[in-house]
Amino acid sequence: MSKIETTYLGNFKTKNFHSESKKEIQTDAPTDNQGKGEYFSPTDLVVTAIVACILTISGQAAQTSGFSINGAKAVSNKIMTSETPRRIAEIQIDFDFSICNLNEKQQTIIQRISQTCPVALSLHPDIKKQFNFKF
């Protein structure tokens, strides 16, 4: 089990240390919410976690099934609510697997994985999730 230690640094920034990997990431509030946008915001990390989860599980499924998704990419966007308290209202992710030359069965595997991503399923059901795929 890995532990994450978080320290508030002031000026809306945190330092987060991952005990297992000994790696550190920092966060900052976004520019539209009193921050300087110098690092990922906490809500950026939520969206990044979904993308990383889907690509990681897709990579595992690809390896098990004898194909590769190396070079696959994604561009994500989050839309925040305007009311207080702020929260993520919508997550849009455009996946690009065009470099992978996947057949129809492999494409179906990838698309099904996006529907069972543990990170996405852990979010409140009111958050709209739009996943687009380019094969």
Q: What average pLDDT does the segment 32-61 reach?
A: 96
User: What's the pLDDT score for residue 31?
Assistant: 93
- Place 1 in a pLDDT band, splitting at 50, 70 and 90: confident
Q: Which of 2, 43, 1, 41 is nearest to 25 (CA)?
A: 41
- Place 61 in a pLDDT band, splitting at 50, 70 and 90: very high
User: What's the pLDDT score for residue 57?
Assistant: 98
pLDDT tens-digit readout, 82-98: 888 999 999 999 999 99
Q: What average pLDDT does the segment 67-75 reach?
A: 98
Q: What is the signed CA dihedral for 44, 45, 46, 47, rounded to 10 degrees?
A: 60
User: What's the pLDDT score for residue 2?
Assistant: 83
Separation of alpha carbons 12 and 38, rounded Å? 11
Considering only the top CATH level, what class is 42-134?
alpha beta
Cis check for the bond before 30: say yes or no (omega within 30 of 0). Answer: no
Q: Which two tokens stand for residue 97?
A: 């697997």
Residue-range domain boundaries for the chain: 1-40, 42-134
Average pLDDT, the chain: 96
- Place 14 in a pLDDT band, splitting at 50, 70 and 90: very high
pLDDT beyond 90 at 59: yes
